[in-house]
């Protein structure tokens, strides 16, 4: 069984698992056909905890809040997570993070906090993958300069980077995917093909190549999974890319219209 590693989130001192478990696929199949119901969702969360994954991502838009409710139910159900339950019950929060916004907005919020002696953000959760790198220009540079950890969502571009072009899946055919999975523009197709090429060369999964690339750039990616097997595959310790391979994957990228925020 693979085990995870932990990385410090910027200068905060907080350690997060690599990867972070994304809970977008946990909730109710009534919301979308690719979303898992309670029993398999709890099973995956238990497997993640047993593997050492201690960082979960959720949002109230996932299955209209059902994802959040399932995570709360999991916390209450596991004796080994009693310490986390106590923290939730106490109402105390140790760190705060922000998600998907313009760099100037993020900087302004932290500046206001600094001037008033308030708690500043320690992390930025933004969309980032080999197929969407728009935050590299300003946001990631700002975060690096200020010691803010980056924990991006959709590192596999809604699964597009996890399988050869043309592969049909329930998620790809769904209108509720996190990114427009069917749309490959500019150098996207070339990038996906190169991910497939390197996966064959290194005898691993395509998604592991994409996650290894993201992992070399940020603190830890948020990975959504729909099975224990996919969970285990998201742990990519031992799969490393050379500088030449990193460049090979990045070179075809073409700028895209910024999305996900105003």
Q: Which pLDDT tens digit goes with each residue over 116-163?
A: 878 888 999 999 999 999 999 999 999 999 999 999 999 999 999 999
pLDDT at res. 175: 47
Residues catalogued as catalytic: 62
Q: Mean pLDDT highest for which of 2-6, 41-45, 75-79, 80-84?
A: 41-45
pLDDT at res. 60: 86
Q: Residue 19, preceding bond cis, omega within 30 degrees?
A: yes
Instruction: Quote the tokens at residue 11.
Output: 């200068």
Pairing of strands 5-8, 15-18: antiparallel
pLDDT at res. 95: 80
Mean pLDDT in residue range 86-108: 80
Q: Which of 1-10, 62-71, 192-201, 231-240 has the lowest mean pLDDT?
A: 1-10
The C-alpha R_g of the chain, in whole angstroms, comes to 18
Mean pLDDT in residue range 238-251: 97
HSE-CB of 124 using CA atoms within 13 angstroms = 27
pLDDT at res. 86: 66
Task: Please answer whether residues 231 and 173 qualify as being in contact, where contact means their C-beta atoms are separated by less than 8 angstroms.
Answer: no
């Amino acid at each position: 069984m693979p085990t995870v590693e932990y990385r410090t989130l910027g200068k905060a001192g907080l350690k997060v698992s690599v990867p972070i478990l994304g809970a977008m696929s946990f909730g109710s199949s009534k919301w979308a056909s690719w979303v898992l119901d309670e029993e398999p969702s709890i099973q995956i969360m238990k497997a993640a905890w047993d593997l050492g994954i201690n960082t979960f991502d959720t949002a109230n838009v996932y299955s209209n809040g059902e994802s959040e409710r399932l995570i709360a139910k999991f916390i209450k159900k596991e004796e080994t997570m009693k310490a986390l339950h106590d923290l939730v019950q106490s109402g105390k929060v140790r760190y705060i993070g922000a998600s998907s916004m313009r760099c100037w907005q993020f900087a302004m919020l932290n500046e206001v906090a600094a001037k008033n002696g308030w708690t500043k953000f320690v992390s930025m959760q933004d969309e980032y993958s080999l197929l969407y790198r728009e935050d590299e220009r300003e946001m990631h540079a700002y975060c690096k300069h200020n010691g803010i950890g980056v924990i991006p969502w959709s590192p596999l571009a809604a699964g597009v980077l996890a399988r050869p072009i043309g592969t049909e899946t329930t998620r790809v055919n769904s209108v509720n995917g996190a990114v427009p999975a069917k749309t490959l523009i500019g150098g996207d197709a070339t990038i996906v093909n190169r991910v497939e090429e390197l996966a064959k060369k290194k005898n691993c999964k395509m998604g592991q190549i994409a996650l290894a690339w993201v992992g070399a750039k940020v603190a830890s990616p948020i990975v959504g999974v729909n099975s224990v097997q996919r969970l285990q595959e998201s742990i990519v310790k031992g799969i490393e890319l050379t500088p030449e391979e990193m460049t090979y994957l990045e070179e075809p990228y073409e700028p895209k219209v910024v999305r996900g925020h105003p």
